[in-house]
Structures are given as C-alpha cells and as structure tokens.
Structure 1
Amino acid sequence: MNIELIELVEVRLPLVRPFRTSCSADTERHTFLLHVVTDAAEGWAEFGGDPEPLYSPEFAAGAERVLLDHLVPRVTALPRPGAARIAAAMAPVKGNPMAKALLETAILDAECRAHAMPLGTYLGAVRDRVAAGVSVGITDTIPELLDTISGYLAEGYVRIKLKIEPGWDLEPVGAARREFGDGLALQVDANTAYSLTDAEHLRRLDEFGLVQIEQPLAEDDVAGHVELAKLLRTPICLDESIRSARDAAAAIRLGACRIVNIKPSRVGGYLEARRIHDVCVAHGIPVWCGGMLETGIGRAQNLALAALPGFVLPNDISASSRYYAEDLTEAFELADGCLSVPDGPGSGVTVLPAALRRHSVATRKLYQKR
C-alpha cells in the first residue's frame, strides 16, 4: 500500500447544547480530520484535541505543525507504510500522542478498507453492540441538570456521568441520586480538578453509591491517587494519567485505580489502546472507552475498540444527536441502550460529502506523491 495524498480538513460543527467541564466550556466542535488516500483505498481519522491546550498539552495548530514537519515525512518515507510499522517510524518524535494517533488511525482505516476488513475485526472485537452511557456537563442550576439527565434516561442511556468541580459536586450528585434512585448507574468525572488536600471532601461522595470517580487529581499525581484510593470506597478510574500500556501497568501495580478509561487519541492510537486493554484484562481491571465529542468518524472507530472483551462498563460513546444536529456520517442511533458496531470495511462509515462541505473551514495538503 503506497500513500498518494494526505490532507487535513478543518471542521466546525455546532453542538446541540453547550458542554462544560472543569477544563473548558464548548459550544462547537472545532477540530480537523485527516484524509489519507493510498493506491488501494482511502482512510479518515479525527483529531482528539482542541484549538487550545486546556484538556491536553496538545492543541490543533501544534499538532498540524508536528504532522507536517515531522510525522508525515517519516511515515511517507517508509517503502510500504502499513499500520504495524507506523509507530516505529514516529517513535523518534517525543510526545504528541494525539497527532500520532491521527496519522496512524487514518492509515489503519485505509489499510483495513483495502483488505475489506472491519476495524473491529482487526482489533479483536467480540460483540456487535456496545452499551452507551452519556456524559453530562456542568449546568447553571440543579433543576437544569435534573431535566437534562431525565431526557437522556428517556432516550435509553444506561449510565449517567456527571462532570464535577469544586463547588459543583456534592449537591448536584446528591440531587441526581435522590431524583433517580439507587438503581441509576451514576459516576462522576473531575478532569483533574482536585488535590489530595480535598480527600475528606471527596470521601463524602462515597454515600452516593457511585460506579466510579474519574481522574480526581492531576494527571501526573499517580502517588496522590494511590493515597486517595486508600481513603475512598468509591473506585477511582484513571483517564488523563494513562498514556500508554506501561502507565496502565504501573498504576495498577501501585493501586492507583480500579478502573481505566481508554481514549485512543490520548494514548497514541488504537493499537496502543488495544495494548492497554490487554494489560487491564490480564490484571482483572475493567475498562471503558471515553469520548472527545467525536463526530461519526471517531465514533465509529471508538465503537470498534469498545467491542473488545475487556470493555465491560458502559462507554462514553453516545448517539450522534447527543452532540450534533447533523453528523459527518450517517447518524448513529441508540437502540435498547446500545450502539451498533459498524461491520463494513475499515471504520465502516462513509463521510457524507455534502455534510463535510457544510462544516469544512479549510483544507490543507500535507503530502502528495510526485
């Protein structure tokens, strides 16, 4: 398989409602796609970061520069750049996992399409439907929060995740538990908003019977998570702290977490995500797939990953309508609390030309074979 063209497509999609976390408040998905054309097929991938380095040190403009100057030249210099060889070619470039994930994923999508193989089959999927939870952002009032949760439960989501931060934690979580009862699978996500000095405060979340508390402390504070885990009954889930299979193995060995959230873009791509899954399964640690407000392109690829056997908890992979009035692919719809894993070649979805035109801001060529 030889690469003929690599282009970056900048897109802006308005969200159906604002999404606020302890890190940022978003009213649109402003990101870029990578389109790779080979002599056998084409592939697509979606950048998991944002225009600003608020959730992650990586941001869109920096990732584009790294791709153009460092990653694309290394990969296109390979005689036949298959997905299995890409990581080694990119390894001399330090960090930048989201940029690496983007390039690897687009080529992997093209390679799977060329062989008429679904991405899920390539990764080792064992199911054709994936349980769907939904992430609920911080709202202005508790009544607004409860109305939002009620709407998602009516749509059929099987788990609710509440974003929390200091000043917005015990009261909204308690209100949700009282309103919807003990039968609701409820968890919270702090996005690194607390420190170990907040341990006594965080212990009060134990009374609400949460599935987990996700990433309460800073991403580099694994030792703090170890100490916090000793104080809480609620399982700690690590997200931002897990950037590789090595990180996952170390965190598990130290007792920093009992659950792991795997976001493929954050860990450098679907191949490393699969390795993290394998490490967690070997240690009896349940995993689930997190979301980054993906369009149908990234959503389809996340579904393929979430169909692996270790993904035993509901995932942050929601229907297209959760975020977008119009998606860039055919809409994903919730049925009985699940989403279907696409079974076509590659990601199994087709980018809709008209929708892409409506939401594209610019297209920039990163490579063209001469």
Structure 2
Amino acid sequence: MPKVRELEVFRVVLPYGGRLETLLVKLIDEGGMVGWGETVNPPPKMWGRLEESLGARLIGVEWQHPDSAPSGDPAVDMACWDLWTRMRGVPLAHAIGGSRTSVVATVRLGPDRSNESLVARVNQQVCAGYGHVTLDVRPGWDVEPVRAVRAAFPALTLAVDCGGAYTEPGQLIALDSYGLEVVERPFDSGDPYLHATLQDQVAATVAVEAGADLDDYLALRAGRALLLRPSTFSSLSDARRAHDRAVAAGWDIQCAGGQGAGLARAATVAVASLPGCTLACDVTQPPRTNQIVDPIVGANAGVIAVPFTQPGLGHTVDESRVQRLAKDSFTA
C-alpha cells in the first residue's frame, strides 16, 4: 500500500516550441520508490494550489489504488499511477487495460508555401516509414493541398485536422472525394448537431474532441471517432471511462498528445494501447532538447513501441536535466 513520504514539484520551461511550460510532479514512497507525472500548459492557479495543499493531501496518507489517492490534478494522478505500477512491477499500459505492444503513428504536417513543397515533405515522411499522414487544413488551404498529396500518394492513409476552423458542413464536402480516413475537429466543440450533419454527408470518419458532452455526441451519432487526449482529463481512469463509452457506442478512438517533456507523451502511448484505440496515434515526434525521459517517446518507422517490459510509464527521468530546466520548484 503506497504511502508518500516526500514529494517535489517542478515548473519547467522547455527550450523548444515557443518556450512551452510544463509542470512535473515527483512522488517518493516510504520504501524509496519514485513515481513521476506531468501536466502540459498547466492552468495559472495550479502551481499555487499544489504548493498550498499537495503535501497535506498526500504526505503520510495510505491509499490502495490511484483512484483512491487524494490527487486532484492530472500530474499528481499520473505520478500516483506511475508509483503504484512500479511498486507492483507492472507496466502502466497493462494496469489500465491496454493490450497492444505497439501502435501505428501518424505524422502531422502544417500548411506549406506551395503544394510541391508539401508533397516533398510528405515524401520524406513516407520514406521514413510513415504510412499515415495528417494534414492541418484551414479555409483557403484545404482542397488543393489534399488533392496534390493524394495524386502523389494514391495508397497513403490520409487524414485532415481542421482545428475547429470551419463553420458549416458544406465547406468540407469537397475534401471527401480524396479518400480521407478521418476529418478531425471540423468545428468548434459544443455543437454536436453540426458534427452530426457533416457525418451524414461524408464517407470519412468525423473525429470529435468531446469532454463532459461526449454522451450528447454519441447519442446523436455526431461522428464515428473520439479524439482522446489523456492530458485533458483529471485522471487516467476518466480517460479510460471516456474510451469505454465511445467503444460501447461503436466508435473508434484516436489517442493524441504531442507536447511536453516526455511523461505526458508516455501516458498517451499507454492509453493508446487500449483495445478501442484503432486509429493512428497522434504523438508528434518530439525534439530531443525537450525530453527529460530515456528512451524518448516517439515513433520509429511510423510505429510507437508500448513499453510492456518495463514497470510504470516505462521511461527513466533525467533528474539533472529537470533541475537545469526548472524555473521554480518546491518540496514537501
């Protein structure tokens, strides 16, 4: 039964990607076992809340399972899961119900200066082993680049991420003629009726990023896939429950989470090993300068290995690098 005797929290600024901020939590139990967690882009008040109350909530408190631990924050919940699974010598992926030893990865490509340049970038990724590509599209940069990529790669599995930039289904109908597997986040979340209308009109799977309103989307059949970001849930068990509800409704799952220092990515890969996560995992290849874990979390030839032979998250944390990157920390 875990009992945390010491904890440390770090506010880290990553050197790549617009100086992204991430929050790391380290828990140490009475036997010296360590668990780590991460929250990317933490809300402004999270640091103060943890500094004020986390020690009182966790230090010396016994708990039997991460779901019963007094965590309250995603990074703390992840650290509890990492600690609990390491103490038992089991991988996190197995503990939450995962069964895959590897997952197919998509590579994400943004707008380019020309269609020729975009096709050249796609070719680079295909040569590197990727069989699945996701293009970020927006109004005015959608049909022509998709047409160019499809003409150059007729057999490539292709998806588009709209980033919620469209306002009506008619803007996206033309894309459906290019054999897309998935149309991600076509509209702002919160309007399942708009998503349902689009799904009725296209052959591609509409993937929605829903939270508390997930049941509304499922009831209206406002898509056929859930874009599941574990980092947006307060706990990994909540993410698992969203997976279960979507799968029970006959939906596919695409797991996503491409930012951070490596721990949040590792948790995303663990969730992606769940049986319903049938679509390519969107964990963008991380810059090495941002990673505090060994091995780094990323794809090799379009495939991401799930660490099923290592306990916990399955990665070692470079604590000296954490100390160098940290702009603030506290211990309890």
Change (3 A) 1:45 1:179: same
**What CA distance in whole angstroms lies between the structure 2 residues aligned with 1:115 and 1:307?**
19
**Residue of structure 2 equivalent to 1:243:** 211
- Between stretches 184-193 and 133-142, larger displacement belongs to 133-142
What is the deviation of 1:69?
Answer: 4.6
**What CA distance in whole angstroms lies between the structure 2 residues aligned with 1:210 and 1:115?**
43
Give 1:273-352 correspondences, 5 Å limit.
Answer: 273-320=239-286, 323-325=287-289, 327-330=291-294, 331-332=296-297, 334-342=299-307, 343-352=309-318
- Give the number of aligned pairs: 327
Q: Which runs of 5+ in 1 are unaligned?
A: 16-25, 50-58, 91-99
What is the deviation of 1:211?
Answer: 0.7
Change (3 A) 1:332 1:265: closer
What is the deviation of 1:294?
Answer: 3.6
Cα offsets for 1:45-86 (capped at 9, x unmatched)? 22133xxxxxxxxx543332343456x367428942441114
Runs of 4+ displaced beyond 4 Å: none
**Residue of structure 2 equivalent to 1:217:** 187
Q: Which runs of 5+ in 2 are unaligned?
A: none
8 Å contact kept, 1:236–1:257: yes
Change (3 A) 1:177 1:9: same
Cα offsets for 1:83-131 (capped at 9, x unmatched)? 11147x74xxxxxxxxx22221111111111222210111112121111
Change (3 A) 1:6 1:195: farther
CA RMSD of aligned residues (A): 2.4
Q: What SS does structure 1 have at the residue aligned with 2:77? A: helix
Match of 1:186 among 155, 158, 183: 158
**Residue of structure 2 equivalent to 1:156:** 129
**What CA distance in whole angstroms lies between the structure 1 residues aligned with 2:126 and 2:57?**
45
**What CA distance in whole angstroms lies between the structure 1 residues aligned with 2:143 and 2:173?**
10
Q: Residue 8 in 1 paired to residue 9 in 2?
A: yes
Q: Residue 103 in 1 paired to residue 93 in 2?
A: no
User: Normalising by structure 2, what TM-score?
Assistant: 0.89
Amino acid at match of 1:134: V
8 Å contact kept, 2:102–2:303: yes
Q: What SS does structure 1 have at the residue aligned with 2:242? A: helix
Change (3 A) 1:105 1:231: same
**What CA distance in whole angstroms lies between the structure 2 residues aligned with 1:175 and 1:27?**
30
Change (3 A) 1:313 1:120: same
**Residue of structure 2 equivalent to 1:208:** 178
User: Normalising by structure 1, what TM-score?
Assistant: 0.80
**Residue of structure 2 equivalent to 1:42:** 34
- Between stretches 111-120 and 147-156, larger displacement belongs to 147-156
**What CA distance in whole angstroms lies between the structure 2 residues aligned with 1:139 and 1:355?**
34
Cα offsets for 1:247-301 (capped at 9, x unmatched)? 3333111111101111101122321111122112222211121123243322222
Q: What SS does structure 2 have at the residue aligned with 1:107? A: helix
**What CA distance in whole angstroms lies between the structure 1 residues aligned with 2:87 and 2:322?**
23
Q: What SS does structure 2 have at the residue aligned with 1:147? A: helix
Q: What SS does structure 2 have at the residue aligned with 1:355? A: helix
Match of 2:197 among 221, 227, 231: 227
Match of 2:66 among 83, 89, 92: 83
8 Å contact kept, 2:230–2:236: yes
**Residue of structure 2 equivalent to 1:134:** 107
**What CA distance in whole angstroms lies between the structure 2 residues aligned with 1:139 and 1:27?**
20
Q: Residue 166 in 1 paired to residue 139 in 2?
A: yes
**What CA distance in whole angstroms lies between the structure 1 residues aligned with 2:130 and 2:8?**
36
Q: What SS does structure 2 have at the residue aligned with 1:260? A: strand
What is the deviation of 1:44?
Answer: 1.3
8 Å contact kept, 1:326–1:355: no
**What CA distance in whole angstroms lies between the structure 2 residues aligned with 1:129 and 1:185?**
18
Change (3 A) 1:64 1:149: farther
